[in-house]
Structure 1
Amino acid sequence: MDQSPTSDMNLLKQQLEYRKRLMDKINEIHSADNLNTILLHIKDSIAALFTAQRITIYLADAKRNLLISKVLSGTEVKQIVVPISDASLAGYCALSGTVLNIKDAYNDHELKMISSNLKFDHSWDQKTGFVTKQVLCVPMKFQRTLIGVIQIINKQNGTPFDDTDITYALELGTSLSIAIHNIYRLQVTTKIIRQRSRYNYLLDRNILDDKSIEKASVHPDVAKFGLDAVLMREYKVPREEMAKALSLFFGTEFIKYEPAAPAMEEELLKRIRPDRLMKEWWVPYKVENGVLYIIMDDPTDLGRQDMIKFIYPEYKRISYVGAFRDDIQSYIGLFYNRGASLGSGGSIDELINKLDATDEPEIEQESSKVSEQDSVIVQLVNKIIIDAVQGKVSDIHIEPYPGKEDVIVRTRIDGRCKVYQRIPYKYKYAIPSRIKIMCGLDISERRKPQDGKIDFKKFGPLDVELRVATVPTAGQLEDVVMRVLASGEAALPYDKLGLTERNSKVLMECINQPYGLVLVVGPTGSGKTTTLHSAISVINTPETKIWTAEDPVEITQRGLRQVQVHPKIGFTFAAALRSFLRADPDVIMVGEMRDQETAEIGIESSLTGHLVFSTLHTNSAPETVTRLLDMELDPFSFSDAILCILAQRLCRRLCDCKQEYQPDRKELEDIIMEYGVEAFKKTGINPADIRLCKATGCPKCGDSGYKGRLGIHELLQGTDEMKTLIKRKSEIEAIRHQAINDGMTTLKQDGILKCFKGLTDLKEVRKVCIK
């Protein structure tokens, strides 16, 4: 029987209303300015449009081949993740690019008729108590690119989805795809524009280019360390230049970390946990003239500013200043570790008072009583380590004494030891035992030395490693020395090594040779590894394969293949060198030539087309030659291999508070005598023009007058004349004389020249070298 004209009119009217509602939704989609507005604000209205109970909108993650729900009707499940495959309804829709209209999701026969692997995951219904029946899945695509899937579930009247639903769902999917694509493209463009303006200062000075910023922005470390840090590390942007660029961009002061910064008010710190500050990259810095100063990695972030105003409502004026993320992290550690946060348990004096307040334990029972649960001992050791790391300490010395003398804790800063704290004698066994527990050593063995490593992030808030050595001392006691390892630090730029013009030029020529041997020598802790890595960073390019064997790996560089040796299991420097030769190297760095075998393999490698870098523990460059010859190395092979030997020392650098003065006649004569009268004449320096500086002291340097260290060097070049002397196994004086004729300045001479520049003083130079 034919339908009446009235019913036809009603149907047409319904379709027009349906169409109007759909167009309203589509207009709403295209007027939205961000993805959240599109997806969240219209989810319920889309379900109502199709008179459906639920809707899920998935977006595609092409890299991981997944669909991730961005919109879910209902509150039982927060997110659904399904693979793009034929094993699920939405996954099959995305994979095939076709519409799925399922009448009964529980009907396996209906699903198998579409694809043999297709099945409905009943677990979602079991979790939520919702019963899925009809399912309509529509793919969202933009120019063959999969954007996602719209999944509409259960018509409210229980009927299957019809052709009209499918048509409108496809139209909706097309509109969503276009809108999502355009918003994503706009976000990417905006991000690039903002990044470019952020680094305008660097771009204008050709320190960076657009391509470098684009590459760095997709680096996996950006999320953790920030784009600024990645650019400084990967593209060698100087820290000072980056700070200037960001200061200009943000229009604020940009500060760096100073361990001597004044303490922050404890009441302000208590309002927010340090772990939250670590995640959000800000920290209260100081209160001055009623203004609260906040350090942030992005001082223009309005969202964080609003939150900070909520936390500190009493401050009507809040000033936001910029800082690098690592400096913010250091300030958080500094401020909170002065109090009782970050697991330190209080100041060092408070912890020692707690020790004094406890009963004196029996010495025989001391080691057995120490465990992870001895909270004050745990806090005390953590505090010692945390203070050392924040104070830029290189070594921590725990020194117990027999009888009732206090345990002395000394720290080495800039090469000089000073007393950090005295701890009651009754804990002279407990503290070494706690440290041994932290690095997995045998606490019952006190008769022989042991060595190990502490991964401190397992015990405290700082991600740092310490190398530990225990040494038995008189009275059945043990000294413990902990070296703070510079874990994951970037290489020092070559121009920051402090080499003289001649030394820099000669070393640069040597490291650009296709093969040969370059040695850096000096005592432990003289910066040999830092110098090697700085030199290698110059030739670290994608065209050059570089292998390094180190113990431990302290400095990391992208592009190097770095290996940690393990002598205890037989993986020595010599074994690593042999394996490198089978691994197609251009450049090899071996941490140390400790024995004849390693030295012989290193020399052999340099003679077979490889550039080899290594270190040695000797006092001067000429002594290195005789030392290697004493190892019974073949003098002919060694002379052919050697390119240069750089000897170095580290001496303390004068702080900015230094005071300049003109030396008197007697002091000038002594300096010239020390330099060498004939050698001084060759420098062309007029004695009347010489100005020296002396240490004074200020709060910034802890009243020591010194802050940081600088290198002094002597560089022996492998000239033809030098190679002839090596072949003859000449005496050390002949080798030194020839090296000086070749242009070498001795360690002391280099140090004196740096005194003339006001970098250090003669007292410091005399402490680290003789000639």
Structure 2
Amino acid sequence: MEKINEIHSSDSLDVLLVKIKESIAPLFDAERITIYLTDTRNKILVSKVKSGGELQQISIPISDNSLSGFCAYTGRTINVRNAYDTHELLMIGSNLRFDDTWDIKTGFRTKQVLCVPMSFKNILLGVIQIMNKKNSTFFTDLDVNYATELATSLSIAINNINRLTVSANSIRHRSRYNYLFDKNLIDEKALNQLDAHPDLPTIGLDVILMRELGVCREDMSKNLSLYFGTEFIGFEPATMWLDNELLKRVKPERLMKEWWVPFKLENGRLHIIMDDPTDLARHETIKFIYPEFKRISYMAAFREDIQNYISLFYGNGGPGGKDSSINELISKLDAGEEPEIEWESRKVSEQDNVIVQLVNKIIVDAVRNKASDIHIEPFPGKEDVRVRMRFDGRCKIYQMIPYKYKYAIPSRIKIMCGLDISERRKPQDGKIAFKKFGPLDVELRVATVPTAGQMEDVVIRVLSSGEPIGFNKLELTHRNACVLERCIRQPYGLVLVVGPTGSGKTTTLHSAISVINTPETKIWTAEDPVEITQPGLRQVQVHSKIGFTFAAALRSFLRADPDVIMVGEMRDKETAEISIGASLTGHLVFSTLHTNSAPETVTRLLDMELDPFSFSDAILCILAQRLARKLCTTCRQEYIPHKEELEEIILEYGIDDFLKSGINPAAIRLYRSAGCATCGDTGYVGRLGLHEVLEGSDQLKALIKRKAEIELIRQQAMADGMTTLKQDGILKCLKGLTDLREVRRVCIR
């Protein structure tokens, strides 16, 4: 009775098991006892209490071919007089065997075994196994009764402890994830299940919720910002550098271990980002490292972003890093006279170390600062080589490099992508798997173009591989989102996304496909290159040089039982005809085209001599897209437009369409960019899409069959509810997402 009371008085499972470890075996006059608990995920028993000198944990499958496993599998108590008696075991269960591996390994000889299941409300919690009755040949009925009572008491205690633990976790989780609960993004049942996730110690519950339950980063950031009561910082490579002396005080290895990093110094205040800004112990550590700062603010961030900042500040080119900066590398270059092509080519082919470092540094800085393109621009004579990078659609000068290396740098890049360095008379193109040469795993596309004076320009496109962005993050208006989602859920038909190079067509296509990407749907994609990957898609990269074109890929897909097909681009009549044919034979087909607007796409395809009847039957919708820079939310300023500006807006939107929109001119507020440290004084951070969505209505299909003029098609599309690219841009200006200058820069009408 005393032992039973001791069991029920425990409020911790570990404390309970420690208490009873050495006291239960003597109660039965037994040599050893093992208490197994159930691992339901892996369907095994795991030893939690084991008397004896061996410390190794035992894991046993819940099945009918071992003693404890049989007890758990059947829920029956078994009392074995001789574990080595095969006949006795077969009388209990036809598959029951005794595994003597443990006896052989430890030198212990198992004789009698009493196994009693522990369960509560028909839920198996574990098994008590008692071995070797002293001074007797077997365990008696009294032993069995007492063991059963002990198992019942242990089951009740374990259930109560688990219930209290779950309740405590629920209270803790409810506090931390209040925002997610209020938004119905998670529920307690799923949360409690994930609390036992095997990856919990390494990546934390926040990341597991995003990965397993689909909570997006923005929602989790908002949630943690409210919980910690502080700003939540995402990774933004264009941040200002901290003073090198501040970074040198602490090693990056320590920052990675403790998950914090100095972020910025502003108005005498040092800003620190941490995974848990409420950790007072780390606050004291940071105050000790930076005693001169009386004001230190702590902001939250995901561990992944903290790691990215540590790599940025201390990595290749960072002020705390070991590698040279771009200016230090340039200073190592020899000054001299006008170089000769042959000499510079030979020098690079011999792997001149500084040139190699310089090219790697340019690429690393471009990737880390999220540039889309790198432009290497040499000039005749003694004018320095200009290096520009494109950020958010705009080119900026990155560095001027001494003219002496105007042949060496292009030659080094051509060597990296396996091009002919002696051929400077005609364009060449190739690609670089940069992980062979530098610290980043990124793919680059390279194009060389001969220019005046025997020069060669090199343009490097940084391929942004990754996962698709969410469909609800595309910044589509309500009408456009409804039309597009309705079309992509059709069983067959043709959906086109059009626009110039670099306008985000592939990103939009992948976001749309992610909506219908389910295990029940077979989706094939043919792309050039494969930039975005999704689990579940079967993705193919075309190689036109070996004859594996989009058309060839399409033909192979049609023999591979597809439900949905995505074609990277309709480059020719053959690809367009096969795509339309596939959409008419029960497949949903996605593709892109380089046209300026949705109505122009119709006439462009008809000009390719496609059958207008087949095309009209196939078309579901056409989405035209442009990318405009987003205003920085930190420094944007609201203002009331003056009369002339308001009249210009109404005129550009279209007077009749503006009147139909229901917008109150007196309530219009616009925003302008100011520039701050967050956006690098540009006033813009990131880009957003401007869209026009032409829906394949019956009236529009009739116009296509008649090969109507583009203006009639545009009028019908707008009558069906389409807003033009510029109209969509103006609507987003009114929401404060961008400004009129950006809309006018990328849209004509």
Change (3 A) 1:205 1:666: closer
Report the Cα distance in structure 1 between the residues aligned to 2:706 and 2:748, rounded to whole angstroms.
27
- Establish whether residue 593 from structure 1 lines up as the match of residue 574 from structure 2: no
1:190 corresponding residue in structure 2: 168
Pick aligned residue for 2:181 from 184, 193, 203: 203
Between 1:591-600 and 1:289-298, the stretch displaced more is 289-298
Taking the aligned partners of 1:435 and 1:28, their CA distance within structure 2 comes to: 75
Match of 1:417 among 379, 382, 395: 395
Partner SS, residue 332 of structure 1:
helix
Q: 1:278 to 1:380 in 2, by over 3 A?
A: farther
The amino acid that maps onto 2:467 is G
Structure 2 letter corresponding to 1:141: P
1:446 deviates by 6.5
Structure-2 separation of matches of 1:227 and 1:717 = 43
Deviation at 1:616, TM superposition (A): 1.2
1:713 matches 2:699? no
The question of 1:493 aligning with 2:472 is answered yes
CA contact under 8 A between 1:247 and 1:253: conserved in structure 2? yes
2:744 is aligned with 1:766 = yes
Output the CA distance in 2 between the equivalents of 1:484 and 1:407: 24
Q: TM-score, normalised by structure 2?
A: 0.75
| Residue 341 of structure 2 is aligned to residue 363 of structure 1 | no
Match of 1:604 in 2: 581
Distance 2:420 2:59 in 1: 52
Total equivalences in the alignment: 728
Indicate conservation of the 8 Å contact 2:434/2:444, yes or no: no
> Equivalent of 2:612, from 635, 651, 654?
635
Letter in structure 1 aligned against 2:344? I
Separation in structure 2 between the aligned mates of residue 703 and residue 195 of structure 1, nearest angstrom: 40
Does structure 2 retain, via aligned residues, the 8 Å contact 1:338–1:346? yes
The answer as to whether partners of 1:103 and 1:135 remain within 8 angstroms in 2 is: yes
Specify the alignment match of 1:323 in structure 2: 301
Structure 2 residue matching 1:488: 3-state secondary structure: coil
The corresponding residue for 1:442 is: 418
How far off is 1:458 after superposition? 10
Match of 1:521 among 498, 508, 511: 498
What aligned pairs does 1:717-736 form with structure 2 within 5 A after superposition?
A: 717-736=695-714
Matches of 2:190 and 2:99, distance apart in 1: 47
Q: Quick one: structure 1 residues 655 and 248, their matched pair in 2 at CA, closer, same or farther if it must change by over 3 Å?
A: closer
Structure 1 residues 526 and 740 mapped into 2: Cα distance closer, same or farther (>3 Å)? same
Alignment-derived partner of residue 603 in structure 2: 626
> Quick check: 62-71 or 482-491, which moved more?
62-71
Structure 2 residue matching 1:697: 3-state secondary structure: coil
The 8 Å contact of residues 83 and 112 in structure 2, kept in 1 or not, is answered as no
Per-residue CA deviations over 1:602-644 (Å, capped at 9, x if unaligned) read 3233334444332211122222112212333211110122232
**Aligned twin of 1:563:** 539
- The farther-off stretch of 535-544 and 466-475 is 535-544
Counterparts in 2 of 1:248-327, with a 5 A limit?
A: 248-259=226-237, 261=239, 263=241, 274=252, 281-285=259-263, 294-299=272-277, 305-306=280-281, 309=284, 313=288, 321-327=299-305
Is 1:482 matched with 2:458? no
Contact 1:67–1:148 at 8 Å: present in 2 too?
Answer: yes
Asked if the contact 1:547–1:585 (Cα under 8 Å) also holds between the matched residues in 2, the reply is yes
Distance 1:39 1:437, change over 3 A: farther
Q: CA shift at 1:526, angstroms? A: 0.8
Q: How far apart, CA to CA, are the structure 2 residues paired with 1:49 and 1:342?
A: 65
CA RMSD of aligned residues (A): 5.5
Aligned residue identity for 1:567: H
Deviation of the 1:708 alpha carbon: 2.2
The CA deviation string for residues 489-509 of structure 1, in whole angstroms up to 9 with x for no partner, is: 432416x5243x554554455
Distance 1:662 1:113, change over 3 A: closer
SS of 1:622 mapped into structure 2: helix
Paired residue type of 1:632 = E
In the alignment, is residue 701 of structure 1 matched against residue 705 of structure 2?
Answer: no
Q: What is the CA-CA distance between 1:715 and the residue it aligns to? A: 3.0
Please state how far the C-alpha of 1:522 moved relative to its aligned partner. 0.2
AA matched with 1:481: I
Distance 1:757 1:95, change over 3 A: closer
Residue 686 of structure 1: how far off its partner (Å): 8.1
Identical pairs, percent: 60
Asked if the contact 1:132/1:153 (under 8 Å) is kept, the reply is no
Alpha-carbon distance in structure 1 between the residues aligned to 2:47 and 2:357? 45
Matched with 2:443 is 466
- Indicate the residue corresponding to 1:11 in structure 2: none
Deviations 1:143-179 (A, max 9, x none): 2766556788999x9x999748986888777665654
Q: Are the aligned partners of 1:99 and 1:136 in contact in 2 as well (CA < 8 Å)?
A: no
Uncovered stretches (5+) of structure 2, i.e. residues with no partner: none
Could you tell me how far apart the structure 1 residues matched to 2:446 and 2:617 are? 39
Q: Is the 8 A contact 2:237 2:369 kept in 1?
A: yes
Distance in 2 of aligned mates of 1:44 and 1:725: 88
Map 1:36-115 onto structure 2 (within 5 A): 36-39=14-17, 59-66=37-44, 68=46
Q: Quickly say closer, same or farther: Cα 1:67–1:544, change in 2 above 3 A.
A: same
Query: In the alignment, what sits opposite 2:118?
Result: 142
Query: What amino acid maps onto 1:488 in structure 2?
Result: E
Give the distance between the partners of 1:141 and 1:277, measured in 2 at CA. Answer: 48
Q: Work out whether residues 398 and 407 of structure 1, in 8 Å CA contact, stay in contact via their aligned partners in 2.
A: yes
Counterparts in 2 of 1:465 and 1:67: CA distance versus 1, 3 Å: farther
CA distance in 1, matches of 2:102, 2:631: 73
Structure 2 Cα separation of the partners of residues 691 and 611 of structure 1: 42
* Equivalent residue, structure 2, for 1:646: 623
User: What is the CA distance between 1:539 and its match in structure 2?
Assistant: 5.7
Matched position secondary structure for 1:141: strand
The answer to whether the Cα contact below 8 Å between 2:115 and 2:130 also exists between their aligned partners in 1 is: no
Structure 1 residues 32-56: Cα deviation after superposition (integer angstroms, max 9, x where no partner)? 4444434567657778999999987
Instruction: State the Cα distance separating 1:199 from its structure 2 match.
Output: 3.3
Q: Indicate how the Cα distance of structure 1 residues 154 and 387 shifts in structure 2: closer, same or farther if over 3 A, else same.
A: farther
Q: Secondary structure at the match of 1:526?
A: coil
Contact 2:526 / 2:542 at 8 angstroms: preserved in 1?
no
- 1:527, distance to aligned residue in structure 2 (A): 1.8
Change (3 A) 1:724 1:615: same
Shift of 1:765: 2.9
